[in-house]
């Protein structure tokens, strides 16, 4: 079977990072891309999940709770854990 060239566009920084990692693994980018292509064909799909980062129901509820707390002018908010801990210790 003959060989062909393909051209792809990629962010310059990504290309540099990819090339560096390939070199550390003892590969060149062509070999790495061929490994990826063969794996995709063998598995009949991408060899990793391609998903959107969707918060689960618990996380959505926590986000809504924080947004509600931020709107409450009577609710004390803390900028960091140390501030909260300091106030708790002062109350003890």
| Domain interval for residue 66 | 57-91
The pTM is what?
Answer: 0.55
Q: Which of helix, strand or coil describes residue 45? A: coil
- Let me know if residue 44 belongs to a domain: no
- Let me know if residue 63 belongs to a domain: yes
Residue where the block lists tokens 């708790």: 88
- Let me know if residue 64 belongs to a domain: yes
The mean pLDDT of 7-28, rounded to a whole number, is: 96
How far apart (Å, rounded) are the C-alpha atoms in residues 69 and 1? 65
pLDDT digits (tens, 9 = 90+) for 60-79: 999 998 888 888 878 777 88
Split into its structural domains, the chain has a count of 1
* Cβ–Cβ < 8 Å for 47, 40: yes
- Let me know if residue 72 belongs to a domain: yes
- Let me know if residue 21 belongs to a domain: no
Name which residue leads in pLDDT, 74 or 24: 24
- Let me know if residue 22 belongs to a domain: no
- Let me know if residue 43 belongs to a domain: no
**84 band by pLDDT with thresholds 50, 70 and 90:** confident
Q: Give the mean pLDDT of the chain.
A: 92
- Let me know if residue 42 belongs to a domain: no
Q: For residue 25, is pLDDT > 90?
A: yes
Given this model, what pLDDT does residue 42 score? 97
């Amino acid at each position: 079977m003959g060989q062909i060239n393909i051209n792809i566009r990629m962010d310059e920084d990504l290309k540099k990072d990819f090339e560096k990692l390939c070199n550390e693994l003892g590969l060149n980018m062509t070999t790495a891309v061929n490994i990826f292509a063969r794996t995709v064909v063998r598995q009949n799909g991408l060899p990793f999940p391609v998903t959107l980062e969707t918060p689960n129901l618990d996380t959505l509820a926590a986000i809504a709770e924080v947004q509600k707390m931020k709107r409450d002018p009577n609710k004390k908010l803390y900028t960091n854990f140390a501030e909260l801990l300091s106030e708790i210790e002062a109350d003890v």
